[in-house]
Amino acid sequence: MPTLDEVARLAGVSRATASRAINGGSRVSAKAAQAVAEAVQTLGYVPNPAARSLVTRRTETVAMVVPESDERVFADPFFARTLHVVTQVLAQRDLQVVLLIAQPGDEMQRTLRYLRGGHVDGAIVVSHHRNDALADHLAAIGLPAAFIGRPLTGAEKVFYTDPDNIAGAREVTNILIERGCRRIGTITGPIDMSAGTDRAAGWRAALDAAGLATDAVVEGDFTEDGGEAACEILLRDHPDIDGLMVASDLMAAGALRVLGRAGRRVPDDIAVVGYDDLGIAERTIPPLTTVKNPIGDMAREAVRLLLAQLDGTTTIPRRVVFAPELVRRTSA
């Protein structure tokens, strides 16, 4: 393999100048930088990662932190889509992604030790919960980070992207009201997540504006099995519901199974709407009316927010919120 000394000799510069040019350092003239670039190309030189890290103090690695169980991460298309986009965008900057899956408790403490240890240059955080307090932790250690979804605590300290979940849930609930539903229940997401609380708030706002009752509520967990269990409770306690707003399409798929077993025809006996539109809604029977969750756009923007911090172009926390988009199908 060619060495840095050989690159310097071919470029006609000192070893130190060659090193600065390769690692993006300052105090290198345009002429010298061009000569070094040509020498690198000619020789096929590849920098030693360890040596480069000593010069740049960068690992060229970003952590994607997901405070969830393995089972949920690999079963929910939300995470696959997010990881795909984050990896794709970071690859354009030649940055690697380390996936850190950690549930609250000892696993989270190990993750925080890893993030504090200088192993990564920054972090993208997805699907966080109130008790993990990741926004507070990352702000305290000064690690550049961007969150996909608004943190329930410490949001003012960090960069984040978020869909307007309140507006989206309000609009999709209004579809049920406009259809003529008057007893509309909901299966919420976890109340320790902003997506769970915001979508429930949007549902409630729509019903309050229409003068309808808001007591038919069961908390879910954003999984298909969780939606099935929650729908069983909802039908048992509120058998008169004629409309159902479910806070994710995965949970809605589980709810549809329960409604089918109970002999409740959708949408004739009960209209159902979901949230996310990540592929599942198109395959349910009947296909789900839902709200598009702009995962790709949010992930791309979160990476841009992180890169701006790594490049030193901004330090003031920013938030980017995406407007909802309804997708009408036959379940409502």
CA angle 15, 16, 17 (to 5 degrees): 90
**pLDDT digits 0-9 by tens, 77-93:** 999 999 999 999 999 98
* CB of 280 closer than 8 Å to CB of 250: yes
Find the DSSP H helices in 188-290: 194-210, 224-237, 249-261
- Per residue in 120-171, pLDDT (tens digit) is 999 999 988 888 889 999 999 999 999 999 999 999 999 999 999 999 999 9
* N residues, the chain: 332
Burial of 43 (0-12, 13-18, 19+ CB in 10 A): middle
pLDDT per position as a tens digit, 162-175 = 999 999 999 999 99
pLDDT at 94: 87
| pLDDT for 300 | 96
pLDDT tens digits, residue range 20-30? Answer: 888 766 678 88
Residue 69 has pLDDT above 80, yes or no: yes
What the chain holds in terms of domains, given with CATH numbers, is 4-56 (1.10.260.40), 61-163+296-322 (3.40.50.2300), 165-292 (3.40.50.2300)
Residue from 207, 203, 206 nearest 220 by CA:
203
| pTM attached to this predicted model | 0.82
The pLDDT tens digits of the residues spanning 241-269 come to 999 999 999 999 999 999 999 999 999 99
Over residues 193-209, mean pLDDT: 97
Burial call 75-100: b when 16+ CB within 10 Å, e when fewer = ebebbebbbebbbebbeeeebebeeb
